[in-house]
Amino acid sequence: MFAQAGTVATPEVLWWALVPLLVLAGAAVLLLTVASLVRRLPEWLPAAWTIVAGLAVLVSVVPLWNEVQDDGARSFLAGAVGIDGSTLFVTALLAVAVVATALLSRAYLTREDLPGVEIYVLLLLSAAGGVVMASANDLIVLFLGLELLSIAAYVMAALHLRRIQSQEAALKYFVLGAFAAAFLLYGIALVYGSTGSTGLARIAGYLSTTILLEDGMLLVGFGLLLVGLGFKVAAVPFHAWAPDVYQGAPTPVVAWMAAGVKAAGFAALLRVFVLTFGSWSGEWQPAVWGLAILTVLGGSIVAVVQTDVKRMLAYSSIAHAGFLLVGVQAASDRGTAAVLAYLGAYTLLACGSFAVVTVVGGTGDDRHGLDAYRGLGARRPWLAGAFAVLLLGQAGVPFTAGFVAKFGVIAAAAEGRSYALAGIAMVAAAVAAFVYLRILVAMYIEDGGPEDDTDATPWGPRIVITASVALVLFLGVVPGPLVDLARDAVPVLVGG
């Protein structure tokens, strides 16, 4: 055995493909090290460091994208990690969400008089976990990335130490998240027991070439994996954590949950179900079909009766997860491309919307009822106008990126002959539009609102809001760049 040990091949490592992950993880470790050694850092430094790290990831994605488009997808580390168009597309979305969250957090921490380093370290580590999920070519690697993403998010939710709602939100998120992680891990174990591997490419090859006489264990594995990932994307009925966590967690953290965590979760869903279990799509599509209907209807209908804007946007986020599941259910390249395009549009909409909510929330982060938005159009016309555009984008109004996103997933469902699902999704979109109209009416037609709401919008949220509105309108009028990128980013499995 010792004689043969020297002949074992060392797993290949493509260091160039790991640059985004190394930048995020390295930036987090370095910031934590410096903060532990230097007694008092300049207040601007952690935020600036995080923003630079996010921008560096965005820049690094460009040559990697060109490499993948020219030479094709690659796998390394004994096939456990892969890099393809979807990996880089989701990585770019995570980087955008990191930059936006860091810009929001700087002003928020100053206003709330909270410590200014921890949130940035946790944000970078959570984003690193999301990149691992997007590049996972093995179920174990996927689970490790999910845990890194989630544990950091649990702590971030509890960072407002003077709000009991923040502590409560973190505890709920942690307990239910741990429960969902157990389902995911049991699902991985059952899939391994059925196929003899945790590698996605090996599982896909096995299922496409082997007839299983007894498939009960595999089907239960499918179900448990769907539960675990369904929790992460807040699909009904695994959504119970989302409204309370969104309401209680610091608002910049909610922006990260809505944009970054959701993008990573759907990247995992696409890699596991559409790619790996694609040859068995007839077995899992009915379950995703049902989840999609429950999620679009549940999120849209329950949002109507809410009076807290953060809870409204929480249920709106659940409804958006339902639309994304409509694209996943299609189990086709068009459906996958539509999901990726939707994630791109929703990242902009979520970051911009929660930037507005961060500003309106005021000191204490507790002014989130509809009363706080009454008369906002007269008091702060720029802020109200930007929020109006973002809400109309979430409603799917033409000439916004939201319309392009919703049209894409519904068209993919219709192409896959899921006509009933497409019809129900359109009805749910109409119901959800009423939620956004309630906020618009409060801002522009109703009078009232807090008299002290006169502070200028900080520069960080101002940048996020301006960029989000501009891109939402641009991609609504000229959707080609987003649609083309999403089409080129359709994931593939490589390795064996």
**In this predicted structure, what is the pLDDT of residue 440?**
92
> d(Cα 170, Cα 148) in Å, to the nearest integer?
16
> d(Cα 246, Cα 239) in Å, to the nearest integer?
11
Using the predicted structure, report yes or no on whether residue 229 has a pLDDT greater than 90. yes
- Count of positions (residues) in the chain: 496
| pLDDT > 70: percent of the chain | 96
- DSSP characters for 307-361? -BHHHHHHHHHHHHHHHHHHHHHH-SHHHHHHHHHHHHHHHHHHHHHHHHHHHHH
> d(Cα 64, Cα 70) in Å, to the nearest integer?
10
Using the predicted structure, report yes or no on whether residue 295 has a pLDDT greater than 90. yes
- Say if residues 17 and 74 touch (Cβ distance below 8 Å): yes
Q: How many CB atoms lie within 10 A of CB 216?
A: 10
Q: Enumerate long-range contacts of 210-217, CB under 8 Å, 24 or more apart.
A: 215/283, 217/190, 217/193
Token pair 């923003």: residue = 51
Q: Write out the two tokens for 64.
A: 């990697």
User: What is the average pLDDT score of the chain?
Assistant: 89
pLDDT (average), residues 74-88: 88
Q: How many CB atoms lie within 10 A of CB 355?
A: 34
pLDDT (average), residues 174-186: 92
**In this predicted structure, what is the pLDDT of residue 216?**
85
The DSSP bridge partners found for residue 369 are 308
pLDDT classification of 146: cutoffs 50, 70, 90: very high
> d(Cα 469, Cα 393) in Å, to the nearest integer?
9
What φ, ψ does residue 112 adopt, rounded to 5°? -90, -5
Using the predicted structure, report yes or no on whether residue 300 has a pLDDT greater than 70. yes
Using the predicted structure, report yes or no on whether residue 2 has a pLDDT greater than 50. no
pLDDT tens digits for range 244-272: 999 989 999 999 999 999 999 999 999 99
pLDDT classification of 7: cutoffs 50, 70, 90: low
Give the DSSP letter of residue 136: B
> d(Cα 266, Cα 63) in Å, to the nearest integer?
24
Using the predicted structure, report yes or no on whether residue 222 has a pLDDT greater than 80. yes
For residues 116 and 475, which has the higher predicted lDDT (pLDDT)? Answer: 475
- Say if residues 262 and 405 touch (Cβ distance below 8 Å): no
**In this predicted structure, what is the pLDDT of residue 61?**
94
**In this predicted structure, what is the pLDDT of residue 329?**
92
- Say if residues 95 and 61 touch (Cβ distance below 8 Å): yes
- Say if residues 328 and 284 touch (Cβ distance below 8 Å): no
| pLDDT > 90: percent of the chain | 63
Q: Which of 326, 210, 330, 207 is closest to 276 using CA atoms?
A: 207
> d(Cα 426, Cα 422) in Å, to the nearest integer?
6
What φ, ψ does residue 75 adopt, rounded to 5°? -125, 155
Residue partners of 19: CB distance under 8 A and separation at least 6: 60, 64
> d(Cα 440, Cα 376) in Å, to the nearest integer?
9
Using the predicted structure, report yes or no on whether residue 453 has a pLDDT greater than 90. no
- State the virtual CA torsion across 93, 466, 152, 182 in degrees, nearest 10: -60
SS3 76: strand
pLDDT classification of 3: cutoffs 50, 70, 90: very low
Instruction: Compute the Cα dihedral for 191, 195, 198, 203 and give only its sign.
Output: negative
pLDDT classification of 211: cutoffs 50, 70, 90: confident
